[in-house]
Amino acid sequence: MKPEINKSMIYDRQLRLWGDQGQNSLETANICLLNATVSGTESLKNLILPGIGKFTIVDDKKVTGSDVGSNFFLTIDQIGQSRAKCVTELLKNLNEFVEADYLEKDPVFLINENDKFFSQFNVIIASNMQEKELIKLNKICSNENIILVSLKTNGLFGILRSYVPEHTIIDAHPENVTDYRLDRPFQGLIDYCKSFDFSEMTIVEHSHMPFIVILYQCLEEFKSKHDGKMPSSYSERNELKEIIKSLRLNNDEENFDEAEKSIFKACKPTIIPSQLKEMFCDIKCSNINENSSNFWIIINAFADFAERHNCLPHSGIIPDMKSDTEKYVELQNIYRKKFQEDFYEIRQKVNTTLAQINRPIESIKDEQIITMIKNGSDLRIIRYRTLEDEFINQPNVSLIAQSLNEEFNNMVYYLLFRAVDHFYETHYRYPGVDNDSLDNDLELLKKSVEVITSQYSIDYSLIPEEAMQEIVRAGMSEIHTVSSLVGALVSQEILKLVTCQYTPMNNTCIFNGIQTTTTSYDL
Amino acid sequence: MKDWNDRWSNINKYLDRSGPYTDPGFKPGEQVKSFLHEECKVLVIGAGGLGCELLKNLAMMGFKDIHVIDMDTIDVSNLNRQFLFRPEDINKSKAIAAAEFITKRVPGVKVTPYFGKIQDKDEEYYSQFKIIICGLDSVEARRWINATLVNLADMDYPETIKPLIDGGTEGFKGQARVILPGITACYECSLDMHTKPVSYPMCTIANTPRIPEHCIEYASVVEFPKAFPDRKVDTDSVEDLTWIYQCALNRANQFNIEGVTYQLTQGVVKHIIPSIASTNAIIAAACANEAFKIATNCTSYLNNYFMYMGDNGIYTHTFELDKKDNCPVCGFEQIQMTINPKLKLKDFIQMLMDKPNISIKKPSLATPSKALYMQAPKNLEMATRPNLEKTLDELVDESEEVVVTDPSLPISMHIGFTYSLDEKIVDDVVNA
């Protein structure tokens, strides 16, 4: 008997990471893979399993014996058939909830002749494409607001590059965020903390008083001696510590331990993080119009809130702490009430904005606002540099030169990936493919390396000859483990980009399968 | 069967050619290829998230004789990443289903499954493999295989040194490492690197619960045993979990605590670690890549630890972990402990169980002259039980060595004492 199964059972282990909101975003992902290479196929595998909406493979090649030898999603009886079709068939068996399609066309042709084709997708994975086409594809993605991740492998080496016109992180999942507001307590918190008198407590009550109450009262005492100012130096924090110590009944009071340990965090002034201040000054925040995204409409409401209160709305979250149940729950409710009030203010402002731009109030759901309030201090936007900027307009020469001087770096292989592309543009083949021309290819590759290094005005001798020999040896082979690893890095970046959760890499990552290292660069 | 044309054309770029970073002993050509395809028998431990990936990777990298051990059966929640399984495979053996899939998909590759525990097999069994690759989710199993392979290694006979490649993942993070038993740091050397599982003090869950986890823990460790004194919680049983969930929910309502859900109950009771396909794929590929490099020697391999963190950008750290001289498995030196002589033996045993670099479940203790406390056999346990209430200085001289063993682990620890009355005596935490 086939047991009853549903999506939430299958997806349980991932829902614990990105929740229903993340899963819903993932299920709207419509992904296009250009070239069913091993790494491209592997990257799709890890996206089909967690349940994207749809994938389409574009590839005009026929399956070869070499393909079957290194691609798990091809079989020997498929040699000679369409690679797009065969890979699609085996991949779609991985998850019945995912739609699958393929197109037997050369991706280069589509990029050059039919760029409208790409507007149906929200993610493009470009595998093994040349710089020239990638630049064009990048322009299409920039106009159509599509996530583009390109990847390439060459033997034991791999590279991936992400591009999104504007990526917003709504839930970075940071660890240990605390926001006690003890430097600027709100009325509910003040009233609660003031309602206790430590001198009139039983020992049990005393040792179960939440450390926030302890800190509040000790801070009051401190401030009364310092013109109402919070501790701001090491010696002042020590003074506060002594006040806390003097309130102790004995050394076993864990709530007092917690209070002492939290001094530093509690004394840090409540601020608006710089990346939010930058967002508040962004033209997209100040100039809300019909085209504004939900994210910016909510940020606009945050800016409005910050102007009035000089802080962000409170998340309503406090950590577990030593306390009896009653007081912990009471304290939790005080912070939750604060969150409710702040949420109400943000919601009102969002509603006003929506009315101004003639959008229904339901177009921004409460959950979306709540998620952004809960992650307020970690909201971020990333505007990726375009490939045209990277390769032509404004190459990041200083970063490249500086990285080359570091002892263990993979920048050499970034330049070699570029040199191999230049080799291909020049000779219409890759270095090291043929056993008979290894020496000749090494000499030709050196010429390409010279061209690339001179573009950056970098000393050619910084590229070790051994690294070039190793690249010729690799011969553009698709080593399954490396393809699988680099493909999986791509999948993971796409998961983060699509769900707007966690922090994606910006913008290039190199994998070195000899040393088993990776390095990321903002190029 | 004969390989088809160009089957290995990709890996042969590395096996037919030498490179500048290759060990001077590497000879490209037929010999290394035939070793890889015909002789290099490897073992994969675990056919779960990492195991499925490992089997695929090894098969695609030219290993043709692969064995796999797993004691688990397939659960619906495996399907989001264990891609060799389909809904119709639920409740089948993972090892058998995975072996069948690979053997069918990749011609000429034979995967031999064993549906059972690693402890069922002896040293002779493990001796037949050239490399052992672990994709496990249990610290205990890792410690067992690590200690077994270290015991197997005889420095005078290089073939007895079985490289152990170990992978592990949690959410967006993971690690891959290479252990050469007896030569590099072993698993036990780094036991204290692992974060201890979350535990809640008994007094909190019983008297002052504050968060939903406290209520769930109380329901499962206090109320369940009260209601069902003759059996343990079956964490795979929907009935048991529903019972605990209801019980925790009632308790939470009574204390005005919000947030007890069935999903959270499952997570707390089963100690669920979130897991996704992409992280497993990254770590398994790193492990299989090392296996290929070790098997063929075509280039240098990892020495000896690769850490991956994907939740904030792509951050990895590759480094050499040091071997510990006083490692209870691969070291020769005593572990030195400064300890209060007035500590009771039972509290000392609890301390050994809690210490992150020792952390053994059922320690038996002896000095060279007498047994202090033995877990088994029963009559010896009875005979040594009164010692539990005695203080250390009544039982052991400061100059004596205490040997700690555990029936579930093939290791023995040698501890030397320095007595000091300044040391703390009690450390009373109940493990969740």
Render pLDDT for B248-273 as a digit per residue (tens, 0 to 9): 999 999 999 999 999 999 999 999 99
Cβ A479–B14 below 8 Å, yes or no?
Answer: yes
Cβ B107–A94 below 8 Å, yes or no?
Answer: no
Q: Is the dihedral of CA A69, A71, A72, A75 positive or negative?
A: negative
Q: Does one domain contain both B181 and B231?
A: no
**What's the domain count of chain B?**
3
Q: Which residues of B touch A505 (CB under 8 A)?
A: 313-314
Q: Does one domain contain both B258 and B351?
A: no
**Cα–Cα distance, A470 to B368 (Å, whole number):** 57
Decide if B120 is inside a domain.
Answer: yes
Is A3's pLDDT higher than 60? no
**Cα–Cα distance, A459 to B352 (Å, whole number):** 58
Cβ B91–A3 below 8 Å, yes or no?
Answer: yes
Q: Does one domain contain both B244 and B293?
A: no
Average pLDDT over residues B131-141: 94
- How far B304 CA sits from the closest chain A CA (Å)? 10
Which pLDDT band, with edges at 50, 70 and 90, does B426 fall under? low
Which chain B residue is nearest to residue A42, measuring alpha carbons? B281
B235 to chain A, any CB pair closer than 8 A? The answer is: no
Decide if B97 is inside a domain.
Answer: yes
Q: Which of A20, A37, A46, A92 to mutate to test the interface with B (most CBs of B within 10 A)?
A: A46
Render pLDDT for B327-339 as a digit per residue (tens, 0 to 9): 889 887 788 888 8
B195 to chain A, any CB pair closer than 8 A? The answer is: no
Decide if B296 is inside a domain.
Answer: yes
Which pLDDT band, with edges at 50, 70 and 90, does A406 fall under? confident
**Cα–Cα distance, A250 to A434 (Å, whole number):** 79
Domain boundary among B236, B251, B269: B269
pLDDT, residue B118, reads 97
Query: CA B245, B250, B256 angle in degrees (round to 5)?
Result: 115
**Cα–Cα distance, B222 to B169 (Å, whole number):** 31
pLDDT, residue B427, reads 45
pLDDT, residue A31, reads 98
Q: Which of B203, B215, B298, B327 is catalytic?
A: B203
Residues A415 and A396: beta-carbon distance below 8 Å: no
> Coil, strand, or helix at residue A61?
coil
How many other C-beta atoms lie within 10 A of the C-beta of residue B45?
26
Q: Which residues of A touch B312 (CB under 8 A)?
A: 172, 502-503
Q: What share of chain B is helix, strand, coil (3-state, %, to 5)?
A: 40, 20, 40
Spatial neighbors of B429 by CB under 8 A, at least 6 apart, are: B199, B201, B354
Of the options 1.10.760.10, 3.10.20.740, 3.40.50.300, 3.40.50.720, the CATH number for the domain spanning A7-166+479-521: 3.40.50.720
A210 to chain B, any CB pair closer than 8 A? The answer is: no
Spatial neighbors of B241 by CB under 8 A, at least 6 apart, are: B235, B262, B265, B266, B269
Q: Which residue has the tokens 């929910």?
A: B249
Give the one of A65, A156, A503 whose C-beta lies nearest to B299's C-beta. A156
Q: What is the CATH number of the domain that holds B412?
A: 3.10.290.20
Q: Does one domain contain both B27 and B98?
A: yes
Kindly report the backbone phi and psi dihedral angles of residue A162, in degrees, each rounded to the nearest multiple of 5, phi listed first: -105, 150
> Coil, strand, or helix at residue A31?
strand
Q: Which residues of B touch A51 (CB under 8 A)?
A: 80
Residues B357 and B192: beta-carbon distance below 8 Å: yes
pTM of the model: 0.93
Q: Which residues of A touch B11 (CB under 8 A)?
A: 70, 477, 479-480
Is A193's pLDDT higher than 90? yes
Indicate the helix (H) or strand (E) that contains A374: helix A366-374
Residue B185 Cα to chain centre, angstroms: 15
Q: Looking at residue B36, what DSSP letter applies?
A: I
ipTM of the complex as predicted? 0.96
Q: What is the CATH number of the domain that holds B262?
A: 1.10.10.520
Per-residue CA distances from B386 to B332, B343, B374, B375, B395 (Å): 32, 15, 11, 13, 11
**Cα–Cα distance, A236 to A233 (Å, whole number):** 5
Cβ B275–A11 below 8 Å, yes or no?
Answer: no
A255 to chain B, any CB pair closer than 8 A? The answer is: no
Q: Which of B205, B241, B289, B294 to mutate to test the interface with A (most CBs of A within 10 A)?
A: B289
pLDDT, residue B255, reads 96
Residues B131 and B58: beta-carbon distance below 8 Å: no
Is A159's pLDDT higher than 90? yes
What is the DSSP secondary-structure string of A401-447?
A: HHHHTSSS-SHHHHHHHHHHHHHHHHHSS-TT-SGGGHHHHHHHHHH
Which pLDDT band, with edges at 50, 70 and 90, does B163 fall under? very high
Give the one of B13, B276, B281 whose C-beta lies nearest to A474's C-beta. B13
Q: Tokens at residue A273, please?
A: 């993080």
Spatial neighbors of A226 by CB under 8 A, at least 6 apart, are: A236
pLDDT, residue B181, reads 95
Q: What is the CATH number of the domain that holds B56?
A: 3.40.50.720
In B28-47, the residues whose Cβ lies within 8 Å of chain A are none
Domain that holds residue B96: 9-195+274-319
Spatial neighbors of B184 by CB under 8 A, at least 6 apart, are: B178, B303, B304, B321, B323
Q: Which of A20, A98, A325, A500 to mutate to test the interface with B (most CBs of B within 10 A)?
A: A325
Q: Does one domain contain both B175 and B209?
A: no
Q: Which residue has the tokens 């299989």?
A: B288
Q: Does one domain contain both B28 and B67?
A: yes
Which chain B residue is nearest to residue A43, measuring alpha carbons? B278
Helix count (H) and strand count (E) of chain B? Answer: 15, 13
Which pLDDT band, with edges at 50, 70 and 90, does A283 fall under? very high
Q: Which residues of B touch A209 (CB under 8 A)?
A: none
**Cα–Cα distance, A521 to A511 (Å, whole number):** 12
Decide if B28 is inside a domain.
Answer: yes
Cβ B16–A64 below 8 Å, yes or no?
Answer: no
pLDDT, residue B115, reads 98
Q: How far apart are the first and last CA of chain A?
A: 55
Q: What share of chain A is helix, strand, coil (3-state, %, to 5)?
A: 55, 10, 30
Where exactly does CATH 3.40.50.720 map onto chain A?
7-166+479-521
Cβ B4–A49 below 8 Å, yes or no?
Answer: no
Render pLDDT for B196-229 as a digit per residue (tens, 0 to 9): 778 888 999 999 999 999 999 999 999 999 999 9
Q: Which residues of B touch A473 (CB under 8 A)?
A: 13-14, 17-19
How many other C-beta atoms lie within 10 A of the C-beta of residue B414?
15
In B69-88, the residues whose Cβ lies within 8 Å of chain A are 76-77, 79-81, 83, 86-88
Q: Does one domain contain both B123 and B63?
A: yes
pLDDT, residue B14, reads 97
Q: Looking at residue B358, what DSSP letter applies?
A: T
pLDDT, residue B425, reads 65
Residues B148 and B132: beta-carbon distance below 8 Å: no
Cβ B278–A491 below 8 Å, yes or no?
Answer: yes
Is A484's pLDDT higher than 90? yes
Cβ A481–B272 below 8 Å, yes or no?
Answer: no
Q: Does one domain contain both B104 and B145?
A: yes
Give the one of B60, B211, B272 whose C-beta lies nearest to A480's C-beta. B60
Render pLDDT for A85-114 as a digit per residue (tens, 0 to 9): 999 999 999 999 999 999 999 999 999 999
Q: Which of A1, A480, A483 to mutate to test the interface with B (most CBs of B within 10 A)?
A: A480
**Cα–Cα distance, B63 to B112 (Å, whole number):** 13
In B97-116, the residues whose Cβ lies within 8 Å of chain A are 105-107
B139 to chain A, any CB pair closer than 8 A? The answer is: no
Q: Which residues of A touch B290 (CB under 8 A)?
A: 516
Give the one of A3, A65, A465 whose C-beta lies nearest to B6's C-beta. A65
Give the one of A46, A320, A516 whose C-beta lies nearest to B281's C-beta. A46
Which chain A residue is nearest to residue B175, measuring alpha carbons? A516
Q: Percentage of chain B with pLDDT > 90?
A: 72
Decide if B4 is inside a domain.
Answer: no
Kindly report the backbone phi and psi dihedral angles of residue B237, in degrees, each rounded to the nearest multiple of 5, phi listed first: -90, 125
Q: Tell me if residue B203 is catalytic.
A: yes
Alpha helices in B168-326 (DSSP H): 202-207, 212-218, 224-227, 238-254, 262-269, 277-296
Decide if B182 is inside a domain.
Answer: yes
Give the one of A46, A466, A502 whose C-beta lies nearest to B20's C-beta. A466
Spatial neighbors of A300 by CB under 8 A, at least 6 apart, are: A285, A286, A288, A292, A349, A353
Residues A177 and A519: beta-carbon distance below 8 Å: no
Kindly report the backbone phi and psi dihedral angles of residue B124, in degrees, each rounded to the nearest multiple of 5, phi listed first: -60, -40
